[in-house]
Structure 1
Amino acid sequence: MTELTIIQRSPDPEQVAAQSRTRRSIAEKIRAMGQNRIGALILLIATAAAIIWANVSIGSYETFWETHLTVGVGDLQLDFTLHALVNDALMAIFFFTVGLEVRREFAIGELTSWSRAVVPVVAAIAGLAIPALLFVLIAAGSGHEYAWGIVISTDTAFLVGALALIGPRVPGRLRVFLLALAVVDDIGALSIIALVYTENFNPMPLLIAAAGLTGVYFTRYLRGGRGPVYATLSIIVWLAFLASGVHPTLAGVAIALLVPVYRPDRRDVEHALDLARTFRQSPNTEYARAAANSLRESISINERLQSAYAPYVAYVILPLFALANAGVVISPEILAGAMTSALTWGIVVGLVVGKFIGVFGSAAVLRVLKIGEFGPGLTLDRIAGGAALCGIGFTISLFIVDLAIDDPAAQNQARVGVLAASVIAFLVSTVIFRISDVVRPDLESGQTLMRPVDAKRDHVFGSENAPYTIVEYGDFQCGFCLKASGSIQEVKEELGDDLRYVWRHAPLTQYHPNALAGAEAAEAASLQGKFFEFERGLFTDQENQRPSDIIRLARELGLDIEKFERDLTSPEVTGRVRDDMLDAEAMNITSVPTLFINGRRHTGPYDSQSLIRALSQPDQGTATATLTTPTL
Structure 2
Amino acid sequence: MRSPITGGVLLLLAVLVALFWANVLSGEGYEGVWTTKLTIGIGDLSITEDLRHWINDGLMALFFLVLGLEVKHEFVAGSLRDPRAAAVPIAAAVGGAVLPALIYVAFTVGGAGSEGWGIPMATDVAFAIAVLALLGSRIVPAIKTFLLTLAVVDDILAVLVIAIFYTDTIVPGWLFAAILGLLAIKLLQRAMVTSVPVYVLIGFVVWVCMLESGVHATIAGVALGLITPAGSFRGRDVLHALKDRIEPVTALLIVPLFALANAGVVLTGGVVGDAASSGVALGVLVGLVIGKPVGIALTALLVQRVGLGRLDPVIGVAHLVGIGALAGIGFTVSLFISDLAFDGPELAQLAKIGVFAGSLLSGALGAFLLLRATRPQVPGPPPTARSTPDVE
TM-score (norm 2): 0.93
Q: Which residue of 1 aligns with 2:295?
A: 358
**Residue number among 89, 107, 112 corresponding to 1:138 in the alignment:** 107
The residue matched to 1:110 in structure 2 has which SS?
coil
Q: Distance in 2 between matches of 1:206 and 1:300?
A: 30
Q: Distance in 2 between matches of 1:81 and 1:399?
A: 16
Q: Which residue of 1 aligns with 2:179?
A: 210
Q: Which residue of 1 aligns with 2:382?
A: none
Q: Give CA deviations for 1:528-553 in whole Å, capped at 9, x if unaligned.
A: xxxxxxxxxxxxxxxxxxxxxxxxxx
Q: Which residue of 1 aligns with 2:389?
A: none
The residue matched to 1:78 in structure 2 has which SS?
strand
Q: Which residue of 1 aligns with 2:89?
A: 120
Q: Give the aligned residue type for 2:353.
A: V
Q: Contact (CA 8 Å) 1:115, 1:373: kept in 2 or not?
A: yes
1:298 paired with 2:235, answer yes
Q: Contact (CA 8 Å) 1:168, 1:437: kept in 2 or not?
A: no
The residue matched to 2:60 in structure 1 has which SS?
helix
1:441 paired with 2:377, answer yes
Q: Distance in 2 between matches of 1:167 and 1:406?
A: 42
Q: Distance in 1 between matches of 2:18 and 2:110?
A: 31
Deviation of residue 100 (structure 1)? 0.6
Q: Which residue of 2 aligns with 1:603?
A: none
Q: Give CA deviations for 1:487-541 in whole Å, capped at 9, x if unaligned.
A: xxxxxxxxxxxxxxxxxxxxxxxxxxxxxxxxxxxxxxxxxxxxxxxxxxxxxxx
Q: Which has the higher contact order (CA 8 A, sep 6+)?
A: 2
For the pair shown, the structure with the greater C-alpha radius of gyration is: 1
Do the aligned partners of residues 45 and 111 (structure 1) sit closer, same or farther apart at CA in structure 2, a change above 3 Å counting?
same
Q: Distance in 2 between matches of 1:226 and 1:99?
A: 21
Deviation of residue 44 (structure 1)? 0.5
1:148 paired with 2:117, answer yes
**Residue number among 12, 16, 28 corresponding to 1:48 in the alignment:** 16
Q: Distance in 2 between matches of 1:157 and 1:408?
A: 26
Q: Which has the higher helix share?
A: 2
Identity %: 38
Q: Distance in 1 between matches of 2:223 and 2:151?
A: 18
- CA RMSD, aligned part only? 2.1
The residue matched to 2:117 in structure 1 has which SS?
helix
Q: Distance in 1 between matches of 2:193 and 2:184?
A: 15
Q: Give CA deviations for 1:115-142 in whole Å, capped at 9, x if unaligned.
A: 1110111001111111101110111122
Deviation of residue 377 (structure 1)? 2.4
Deviation of residue 75 (structure 1)? 2.8
**Residue number among 136, 158, 167 corresponding to 1:189 in the alignment:** 158
1:317 paired with 2:254, answer yes
Q: Distance in 2 between matches of 1:247 and 1:303?
A: 26
**Residue number among 341, 345, 350 corresponding to 1:408 in the alignment:** 345
Q: Contact (CA 8 Å) 1:219, 1:226: kept in 2 or not?
A: no
Q: Which residue of 1 aligns with 2:189?
A: 220
Structure 1 unaligned runs (5+)? Answer: 1-30, 265-295, 446-616, 619-632
Q: Distance in 1 between matches of 2:137 and 2:275?
A: 34
Q: Contact (CA 8 Å) 1:344, 1:413: kept in 2 or not?
A: yes
Q: Distance in 1 between matches of 2:186 and 2:261?
A: 34
Deviation of residue 83 (structure 1)? 0.3
Deviation of residue 370 (structure 1)? 4.6
Q: Distance in 2 between matches of 1:176 and 1:435?
A: 19
Q: Give the aligned residue type for 2:339.
A: D
Q: Distance in 2 between matches of 1:226 and 1:110?
A: 31
Deviation of residue 373 (structure 1)? 2.5
The residue matched to 1:112 in structure 2 has which SS?
coil
The residue matched to 1:403 in structure 2 has which SS?
helix
Q: Contact (CA 8 Å) 1:43, 1:319: kept in 2 or not?
A: yes
Q: Contact (CA 8 Å) 2:281, 2:354: kept in 1 or not?
A: yes
Q: Which residue of 2 aligns with 1:232?
A: 201
Q: Give the aligned residue type for 1:42.
A: L
Do the aligned partners of residues 323 and 231 (structure 1) sit closer, same or farther apart at CA in structure 2, a change above 3 Å counting?
same
Structure 2 unaligned runs (5+)? Answer: 380-384, 387-392
Q: Give the aligned residue type for 2:82.
A: S
Q: Contact (CA 8 Å) 2:128, 2:363: kept in 1 or not?
A: no
Q: Give the aligned residue type for 1:353.
A: I
Q: Distance in 1 between matches of 2:139 and 2:280?
A: 38
Q: Distance in 2 between matches of 1:129 and 1:362?
A: 11
Q: Give the aligned residue type for 2:70.
A: E
Q: Give the aligned residue type for 2:10.
A: I
Q: Contact (CA 8 Å) 2:192, 2:234: kept in 1 or not?
A: no
The residue matched to 2:245 in structure 1 has which SS?
helix
Q: Distance in 2 between matches of 1:81 and 1:328?
A: 18
Q: Which residue of 2 aligns with 1:383?
A: 320
Deviation of residue 243 (structure 1)? 0.9
The residue matched to 2:138 in structure 1 has which SS?
coil
Q: Distance in 1 between matches of 2:48 and 2:374?
A: 53
